[in-house]
Copies of this chain bind each other. A is one copy, B any other.
Amino acid sequence: MRKVYLDHAATTPLLPEVREAMLPYLGELFGNPSCLHDWGDAAREAMDTAREQVAELIGASADEIIFTGSGTESNNFAVKGLALAQQGRGKHIIVSAIEHFSVLHSAKTLEKWGFELSEVPVDRYGVVDPDEVRKRIRKDTVLVSVMHANGEAGTIESIPEIARITRENNISFHTDAIASAGTVPVNVKELGVDALSLAGNQFYGPKGVGALYIRQGVRVMPLLDGGVQEEGRRAGTENVPAIVGLGKAAELATKDMASRMKHLGYLRDRLLNELPARIDHAVITGHPENRLPGNASFCVQFIEGESMLMLLNSQGVAVTSGSACTSRALKASHVLIAMGLSHEIAQGSVLFTFGIDNTEKDVDYVLEVLPPIVEKLRQMSPLYAKFIKKGEGGA
């Protein structure tokens, strides 16, 4: 059976060059970078290189990059660390309604700790209106966190406009660029943010490593206390092989970004353009233009996403549904609901995310196997029966 991996939003495979770069650090060069001997020196040198590579990817300087253990850690660190460092000035924070749970739930934890939280809504395309951020700013607002791109809907936000507003109001601004950094151009200077999260496993780098950009001079409370690694801002023996891999992945992403984007965009457009002819009552989600190149997300009406993805899996196609992959919850994706979709439609979400190894043939295969799956599930669906009989629930 053909095996087609179309779940690059969940995680990407390692590029062979990235794996090659990591292997020595899983072997001979196993030293702890804090140590003052040859083994330590080699590890430290490798980290310095990786830090330059990551800085280069996002237009930062190397000493503005802090390595972390995951994208989630970067987000927790940024949201909690920036808020706590400034609680003397105020205890109000603003986040968008479609943030990843690692931002949303960090914000909820801050609420438990006495902060107040405002959520900014999005429009039907998942776009945050900068004016909606402005409206929520108060005297005691210390932090705004709005993601750069949503991995699920694919929508890319207007970060520079929001940054202009936070700057005018002297408020820290963090953006979660985990779904976008390494995939589309992300430049901290152009975005104008104070902090930015990214993760290796989103662009053919390893799991178990993320990075947080903190603009020079911005204070942040550590999330992990202990030794003086990362200038005392993130304690713990560094995951050198993974950091090396992240660096290499960043280098390759910088170099190949344009051609990758072209390839992914082509595959995505091919799928989305062909879809209506093959499946009726499918609702494409996310912004039509400002979206991640590899992201094809839509909802198939009258059926549920998980059963769709299980049947796709039985045909060798790996995809995800809504936020099922990260939440394993039964609830519809909070992102799609925030975009105004009904629960009924949001339950039918399915997310195809292309990677650099995918081909046209993969798209054709999906277009071949998906329609009968949809048909099979619709034949089982009481909602479809109602629609057919009474025209109920059509979108």
Residues of A participating in the B interface, judged by any CB pair closer than 8 Å: 3, 5, 7, 10-14, 19, 22, 26-28, 30-32, 34-40, 69-73, 75-76, 100-102, 105-106, 108-109, 199, 201, 206-209, 223-228, 235-242, 306, 309-310, 312-313, 316-320, 324-329
CB closest chain-B residue, reference A75: B226
Are B310 and A201 in contact (CB-based, < 8 A)?
A: no
Bound: A238/B242 CA distance, A? 13
Are B36 and A310 in contact (CB-based, < 8 A)?
A: yes
Known contacts A70-B69, A109-B225, A236-B71; A14/B37 CB under 8 A: no
Known contacts A10-B32, A206-B26; A101/B39 CB under 8 A: no
Known contacts A11-B31, A226-B76, A325-B32; A208/B5 CB under 8 A: no
CB closest chain-B residue, reference A204: B30
Are B235 and A102 in contact (CB-based, < 8 A)?
A: yes
| The one of B10, B19, B36, B105 that contacts A325, using a Cβ cutoff of 8 Å | B36
Known contacts A108-B225, A207-B239, A241-B207; A318/B35 CB under 8 A: yes
Q: How many copies of this chain are found per oligomer? A: 2
Are B237 and A239 in contact (CB-based, < 8 A)?
A: no
Neighbouring B residues of A201 by C-beta, 8 Å: 32, 237
Known contacts A69-B239, A237-B70; A101/B11 CB under 8 A: no
Known contacts A19-B27, A325-B36; A72/B313 CB under 8 A: no
Bound: A22/B206 CA distance, A? 12
Bound: A37/B316 CA distance, A? 9
Are A328 and B228 in contact (CB-based, < 8 A)?
A: yes
Are A241 and B206 in contact (CB-based, < 8 A)?
A: yes
Are B30 and A236 in contact (CB-based, < 8 A)?
A: no
Can you name 9 extra interface pairs (CB under 8 A) apart from A7-B39, A22-B26?
Answer: A13-B30, A36-B324, A37-B318, A69-B70, A72-B235, A76-B223, A105-B225, A206-B239, A242-B242
Are B5 and A39 in contact (CB-based, < 8 A)?
A: yes
Are B101 and A235 in contact (CB-based, < 8 A)?
A: yes
28 A/B residue pairs, CB under 8 Å, sorted by A: A7-B32, A10-B31, A10-B35, A10-B40, A11-B31, A14-B27, A19-B26, A34-B325, A36-B313, A37-B309, A37-B312, A69-B69, A69-B208, A69-B236, A72-B226, A72-B236, A76-B224, A76-B225, A102-B226, A105-B226, A106-B226, A108-B225, A109-B225, A207-B238, A207-B239, A208-B241, A209-B239, A242-B242
Known contacts A14-B26, A30-B14, A36-B309; A327/B69 CB under 8 A: no
| The one of B13, B19, B102, B224 that contacts A73, using a Cβ cutoff of 8 Å | B224
Known contacts A10-B32, A326-B227; A38/B70 CB under 8 A: no
CB closest chain-B residue, reference A313: B37
Most chain-B Cβ atoms within 10 A of its Cβ — which of A32, A223, A236, A318?
Answer: A236
Bound: A236/B327 CA distance, A? 11
Q: Closest CB of chain B to A310's CB: distance in Å? A: 7
Known contacts A19-B27, A102-B225; A328/B240 CB under 8 A: no
Bound: A31/B11 CA distance, A? 7
Neighbouring B residues of A39 by C-beta, 8 Å: 5, 7, 318
Bound: A309/B38 CA distance, A? 11
CB closest chain-B residue, reference A102: B226
Are A100 and B226 in contact (CB-based, < 8 A)?
A: yes
CB closest chain-B residue, reference A312: B37
Q: Closest CB of chain B to A83's CB: distance in Å? A: 13
Neighbouring B residues of A235 by C-beta, 8 Å: 72, 76, 101-102, 105
| The one of B7, B30, B37, B106 that contacts A35, using a Cβ cutoff of 8 Å | B7
Q: Closest CB of chain B to A339's CB: distance in Å? A: 20
Neighbouring B residues of A223 by C-beta, 8 Å: 76, 223
